[in-house]
Chain A
Amino acid sequence: MRLFVSGLRKLVRRPASWVTLGMLVGLLALILIAVGGTANERVNATREAAAKSLITFPEAYDRILQFITGLGGLFAVIYGAAIAGSEWGWGTLKSAVARGESRVKYMLISYVSVAVMIGVGLLITFAVGVLAAIFAAHLANVSTSGLGDSATLGGLPERLLKGWFAVVEEGALGFTIATLARSQLAGIGVGIAFYFGESFATIVLPDIVKYLPFSVANAALATTSTSTGGGGIFAANTDVLSPDQALLLVGVWLIGALVVAAVFSDRAEITG
């Protein structure tokens, strides 16, 4: 418990936490307000309808969540890599180990703290996104009557939970990559490359990519039979697994990534 509370305190005080959250929230709000401000200026009716669906409730709830799990997934990779990499790069893991702390416990609890921060960030981003969508709807003269749609609101906690689970899995990948690289920068770089690499791979290897971590994270929240592949919102559409299958694979990737990070941390020689 001491380690977990300490982990949270460190993350709350860490500028990277607020910079990451600020960028995600800022981008989401900016996009929604820009859509609201320009929705009625579009000459193409199809595009206008697509734009307005982002700020029309109750569909907007899902759109906001998909944005968070898409771009938020990339941010989670970077964030997870930054946290794990700094433990090695700054030598703070070394200090804890030299005090008799368990390496596995230290690393896993560090990630539990990251997962909690991701959850808080997701809720804040979602709340700001909803507020921005309401504001954008007013700008575009779109009705907000669907805001209180009971069926959607009833399923929202489950959708948020699944979204959090998916983003946590993506963060775990960054965390593990940085642990293996023992470096923030290397972890972030490889994590980003992996994220976009998976999206590009959907073009040539769609049948394989749908089982890969970023694709299953997106598929876990998909409401249609096609969705974005790896690389979230940047990826080409591809056939996806069913949400239940995808959720199961999200769990497999999450546990697998953390097991690799734990085993590596336990076996690694801590030098430098």
Chain B
Amino acid sequence: MSGTAGLALATRGLRKNYGSRHALDGLNLSVPMGVVYGFLGPNGAGKTTTMRVLTGLVHSDGGTVEVLGKPFKRGDRHRLFDVGALVESPTFYPYLSARANLRELAASGAHVPSKRIEELLDLVGLCDRANDKVQGYSMGMKQRLGIAAALLSDPKLLLLDEPANGLDPAGIVAMRDTLRALASQGKTVFISSHLLAEVQVMADVVGIVAAGKLVREGPLKELLSMQGVVKVRVRPNLVDSAIKSLQPLAAADRLIESDREEGWLAVHVSADRAEDVNQQLAGAGIFASGLESGTDLEMLFLELTGGQAVGGEGTFVGLGAPANGSATTGKETAA
């Protein structure tokens, strides 16, 4: 595979069909070594299918996969000995304890020293409940145990599907710290998630997928620097005048009207141009009652994915934009 040197994970032209539906339609991922990679996409975009292909649970219909620099084909299951994975929900024998579940899981795949199980129970904070049957665990506890299971073989590449699911705030912070620590040790962490805020604070590199294709990939800082936004609130009856006055600042197709009723506008300019936006409005005799600036992964995500779910899984639309002016419906206006 060309151009994959130094990558922990690479897919080229990866395809997977379920009947007539293209779950993956030529996916090209390039995950560098030693980073936390956020794999984002709306429901049905192909995130979980990608995870399944990468862990050998389903077989692709075309394309290639490289794991840790080596081809990963149908017969190459040993390649997964260096990979830890949590795909979809964590799965365990409900009648066994956490400790016993880890021990039995460790009997499959790569060899795991027995002391590793105790280390991991300690890491995920389950030592006190390690002898309790998993059937009595909360979702968050199962998720912690799932993360411990993914770490069993001390993997070089960690694939986690929605790892924050069910975790309480303290658990999320602890998980984030753990994953960052793993990346600092040179391990690669690949996180599939729809929690943009979580990915924004954790990932070094992101890939955004829609309709089974990669629509953007790159270092998070770089992507966000191109995604500055200034949100400004004016009187609802002045929205049209405000849009007109702001046209010189942003290209016409980059001015997004977020919520006409509330009067919020999102202007896609560099975040440090909030003052210019305010000045421009004031010059037109329009005074802002609210002004926010920043870089927004959510904006980027919605822009790239069209703010829509694909694959028929549906999404929430049309319930009204939140008061903070986030472009929930992502409606673009031509001034």
| A98 lies within 8 A of B80 (CB) | yes
Is B281 interfacial (CB-CB < 8 Å)? no
| A91 lies within 8 A of B77 (CB) | no
When distances are taken between beta carbons in the complex, the residues of chain A under 8 Å from B83 are 98, 100
- Counting chain A CB atoms within 10 Å of each CB, the highest count among B52, B59, B91 belongs to B91
Which listed residue (B56, B91, B149) contacts A90, Cβ 8 A? B91
| A10 lies within 8 A of B87 (CB) | no
Other contacts beyond A94-B57, A95-B92, A99-B105: 13, CB < 8 A? A3-B108, A6-B104, A9-B104, A10-B104, A14-B95, A90-B94, A91-B88, A95-B149, A98-B87, A100-B78, A100-B80, A100-B108, A100-B110
| Chain B 150-180 residues near chain A, CB threshold 8 A | 152-153
When distances are taken between beta carbons in the complex, the residues of chain B under 8 Å from A101 are 77, 108-109
| B52 lies within 8 A of A106 (CB) | no
Nearest opposing residue in chain A for B58, CB measure: A269
Nearest opposing residue in chain A for B133, CB measure: A13
| B91 lies within 8 A of A6 (CB) | no
- Counting chain B CB atoms within 10 Å of each CB, the highest count among A95, A99, A106, A271 belongs to A99
A102 to B75, CA, bound (A): 9
| Chain B 76-120 residues near chain A, CB threshold 8 A | 77-81, 83, 85, 87-89, 91-96, 100, 103-105, 107-110
Size bracket of the A interface: 20 to 34
Is A15 interfacial (CB-CB < 8 Å)? yes
| B105 lies within 8 A of A97 (CB) | no
When distances are taken between beta carbons in the complex, the residues of chain B under 8 Å from A157 are none
Main secondary structure of the interface of B (DSSP, over half): loop
| B88 lies within 8 A of A95 (CB) | no
- Counting chain B CB atoms within 10 Å of each CB, the highest count among A9, A13, A100 belongs to A100
Is B308 interfacial (CB-CB < 8 Å)? no
* B positions within 8 Å CB-CB of A: 52, 55-59, 77-81, 83, 85, 87-89, 91-96, 100, 103-105, 107-110, 149, 152-153
| B88 lies within 8 A of A97 (CB) | no
Is A5 interfacial (CB-CB < 8 Å)? yes
Residues A90 and B107 in contact in the complex (CB < 8 Å), given A97-B56, A270-B52, A270-B57: no
CB distance from A89 to the nearest CB of B (A): 9
17 A-B contacts (beta carbon < 8 Å): A3-B108, A6-B103, A6-B108, A14-B95, A90-B91, A94-B57, A94-B87, A96-B108, A96-B109, A98-B83, A99-B80, A99-B108, A100-B79, A100-B83, A100-B109, A100-B110, A270-B58
CB distance from A86 to the nearest CB of B (A): 8
CB distance from B155 to the nearest CB of A (A): 9
Which listed residue (A86, A91, A99) contacts B152, Cβ 8 A? A99
Which listed residue (B57, B91, B92, B104) contacts A269, Cβ 8 A? B57
Nearest opposing residue in chain B for A272, CB measure: B88
A5 to B56, CA, bound (A): 25
| B55 lies within 8 A of A97 (CB) | yes
* A positions within 8 Å CB-CB of B: 2-3, 5-6, 9-10, 13-15, 86, 90-92, 94-102, 106, 269-272
| B95 lies within 8 A of A15 (CB) | yes
Nearest opposing residue in chain A for B100, CB measure: A13
A94 to B59, CA, bound (A): 14
Residues A90 and B93 in contact in the complex (CB < 8 Å), given A2-B107, A100-B78: yes
A106 to B56, CA, bound (A): 15
CB distance from B55 to the nearest CB of A (A): 4
CB distance from B136 to the nearest CB of A (A): 14
| A90 lies within 8 A of B88 (CB) | no
Nearest opposing residue in chain B for A96, CB measure: B108
When distances are taken between beta carbons in the complex, the residues of chain B under 8 Å from A269 are 52, 57-59
A2 to B105, CA, bound (A): 10
A144 to B274, CA, bound (A): 101
When distances are taken between beta carbons in the complex, the residues of chain A under 8 Å from B95 are 13-15
A155 to B115, CA, bound (A): 49
| B110 lies within 8 A of A95 (CB) | no
A234 to B107, CA, bound (A): 41
When distances are taken between beta carbons in the complex, the residues of chain B under 8 Å from A15 are 95
When distances are taken between beta carbons in the complex, the residues of chain A under 8 Å from B58 are 269-271
When distances are taken between beta carbons in the complex, the residues of chain A under 8 Å from B55 are 97-98
When distances are taken between beta carbons in the complex, the residues of chain B under 8 Å from A99 are 80-81, 85, 105, 108-110, 152-153
When distances are taken between beta carbons in the complex, the residues of chain B under 8 Å from A100 are 56, 77-81, 83, 108-110
A106 to B107, CA, bound (A): 10
When distances are taken between beta carbons in the complex, the residues of chain A under 8 Å from B93 are 10, 14, 86, 90, 92
A91 to B101, CA, bound (A): 13
When distances are taken between beta carbons in the complex, the residues of chain B under 8 Å from A95 are 91-92, 105, 108, 149
- Counting chain A CB atoms within 10 Å of each CB, the highest count among B56, B85, B107 belongs to B107
